Amino acid sequence: MRRTRSGAVGAFALTFMLLLGACGGSDDDGVTAGQSESKGTCAGFKGTEELTVGGTNFSEQEIVAELYAQCLQAAGYKVDTKLKLGAREVVQPALERGDIDILPEYVGTLLTYLNGSPTTDLPKTLSDLKASLAPKRLVVLTPAPAEDKNGFAVTKATADRLKLKKLSDLQPHAKDLVFGGGPECPERPLCLQGLEKTYDLKFKEVKRLDSGGPLTKDALQKGDIQVGLIFTSDGAVPARNFLVLEDDKKLQPVDNVVPIVRQDVLKGDVEPLLNSISAKLTTEGLSELNKRVDVDKADPDDVARDWLKANGFT
């Protein structure tokens, strides 16, 4: 019995030491060192502070966050990234708490999240957003031309058959078509409610799939739905021959990509550096970046590195 006891205690201790022994690892999953010997716009900026760039759980967020992070790193900042985070509900508290310093956001969606009302007028939406974030000591920088907003897509085949170009062209056909969107779409004013109110579209059936995700895209491609919610910068649009119908009655408010930065870290070259990236970022450019990551399965950090190089940033 005596031997057994000490053996038992010893083995218990050993088990825990083994379990704990695996704990020495550091989580240095930051950005891999970008070549800073090549001169470019990014190297023209200078900074040494530590910054954390965050992003939520879709490729575009990761790509744009990598663009910010790699350019900041080329300028000399010590950059950490926290990517693929859960939804805005996870990221906004993290931003307010200072776990994240810089975050790519969308002017309209973020204003809606903050209980504001985005419009089709960018300066107005932007000033509302700035006013909502100022008390939280968060600063909105200059938005990029690139927009990622709700788009309603059909296949090119459907578009040809029904001669569709813009959303109002759908009106006479909607009663024969199946619509697919996110599970929350029927309750959202910018989704199905807006399509009914602004465009008078009453679909034959509404399928609750995902918000511009694989279910919607597959269903659209296979013909299970004929109209699907697809985000305007989605890489699947060029990759799968979809056509995003023109929002001719301006249902969708502006939703430009914009960096949100904690006031406490907004010093030195951070603002001009991020603004220089935004200036070059278009919806078409973004769809192409998204296509490379989502369709071609390239890594977001590699795609971002190539873009920065191709656009003279590094």
Partner 1 sequence: MLAQVAADPWVRWSWVRDHTDDIGDSLQEHLVLTGLTLAIGMVIALPLGVACHRWKRLYPAVLGVAGVLYTVPSLALFAFLLPFTGLSRTTALIPLVLYTLLILVRNVVAGLESVPADVREAAEGMGLSPARRLMRIELPLAVPAIVAGIRITTVTTIGLVTITALIGQGGLGSLVYDGLLRDFRTPLVVGTALTVVLATLADLGLAGVQRVLTPWARGR
Tokens of 74: 């080329």
Q: Could you say which of 7, 189, 272, 312 contacts partner 1 (CB under 8 A)?
A: 7
Q: Could you say which of 110, 257, 294, 307 contacts partner 1 (CB under 8 A)?
A: 294
Q: Could you say which of 84, 88, 136, 207 contacts partner 1 (CB under 8 A)?
A: 84
Q: Residue 100, interface with partner 1 (CB under 8 A)? A: yes
- Residue 73 or 92: the one with the smaller Cβ distance to partner 1 is 92
In the block, residue with structure tokens 């511009």: 212
Q: Residue 223, interface with partner 1 (CB under 8 A)? A: no
Q: Could you say which of 38, 46, 86, 223 contacts partner 1 (CB under 8 A)?
A: 86
Q: Could you say which of 153, 215, 289, 304 contacts partner 1 (CB under 8 A)?
A: 215
Q: Residue 97, interface with partner 1 (CB under 8 A)? A: yes
Q: In terms of Cα–Cα distance, which of 54, 146, 141 is closest to 92? A: 54
Stretch of 109-117, 169-177, 215-223, 306-314 lying at the interface with partner 1 (CB under 8 A): 215-223
Q: Which of residues 133-152 bind partner 1 (CB under 8 A)?
A: none
Q: Residue 1, interface with partner 1 (CB under 8 A)? A: yes
Q: Could you say which of 38, 50, 93, 157 contacts partner 1 (CB under 8 A)?
A: 93
Stretch of 11-19, 148-156, 200-208, 225-233 lying at the interface with partner 1 (CB under 8 A): 11-19
Q: Could you say which of 25, 123, 135, 172 contacts partner 1 (CB under 8 A)?
A: 25
Q: Could you say which of 43, 65, 85, 227 contacts partner 1 (CB under 8 A)?
A: 85
3-state secondary structure labels for all residues of the chain: CHHHHHHHHHHHHHHHHHHHHHHHCCCCCCCCCCCCCCCCHHHHCCCCCEEEEEEECCHHHHHHHHHHHHHHHHCCCEEEEEEEECCHHHHHHHHHHCCCCEEEEEHHHHHHHCCCCCCCCHHHHHHHHHHHHHHHCEEECCCCCCECCEEEEEEHHHHHHHCCCEHHHHCCCHHHCEEEECCCHHHCCCCHHHHHHHHCCCCCEEEECCCCCHHHHHHHHHCCCCEEEEECCCCHHHHCCEEECECCCCCCCCCEEEEEEEHHHCCCCHHHHHHHHHHHCCHHHHHHHHHHHHHCCCCHHHHHHHHHHHCCCC
Q: Residue 187, interface with partner 1 (CB under 8 A)? A: no
- Residue 30 or 76: the one with the smaller Cβ distance to partner 1 is 30
Q: Which of residues 40-69 bind partner 1 (CB under 8 A)?
A: 57-59
Tokens of 79: 């950059």
Residues contributing to the site for partner 1 (CB under 8 A)? 1, 4-5, 7-8, 11-12, 15-16, 18-23, 25, 27, 29, 57-59, 82-86, 89-90, 93-94, 97, 99-100, 214-215, 218, 221-222, 293-294, 297
